[in-house]
Amino acid sequence: MASESWTSERRTARHEAVVLENDRVRYARRDAKVWAEVDAMAADEEERKKAPSKLNDGNFGARMPAPPEEGWDWF
C-alpha cells in the first residue's frame, strides 16, 4: 500500500512537471508574440517620426488636387 501511494505521488509530480513545462512554453510563445507586436509598433512609430511633417500652407488642412503636368488650366 505504501508503494502504491509513492508511485501515485510520483505520477502526480511528473504530471505537474509536464503541466508546468507546457504552461512555460505556452507563455513564452505568447510573450514572444506580444513583444514582436510591440517591436513592430515601435518600428512604425520610428518611421512616422522620421517622415517629414507636412507644413501648414494656409489651406487649413484641406487637400488640394495636384496640378496637371501640362499646365494650370484647371483653375
In tens, the pLDDT along 18-64 reads 999 999 999 999 999 999 999 999 999 999 888 777 665 565 666 77
Considering only residues 66 and 59, tell me which one the structure prediction assigns the higher pLDDT.
66
Spans of all domains in the chain = 19-46
**What SS3 state is found at 11?**
helix
User: 9 falls in which pLDDT band (50, 70, 90)?
Assistant: confident
The CA distances from residue 71 to 39, 44, 60, 66, 68, in Å, are 46, 38, 25, 11, 6
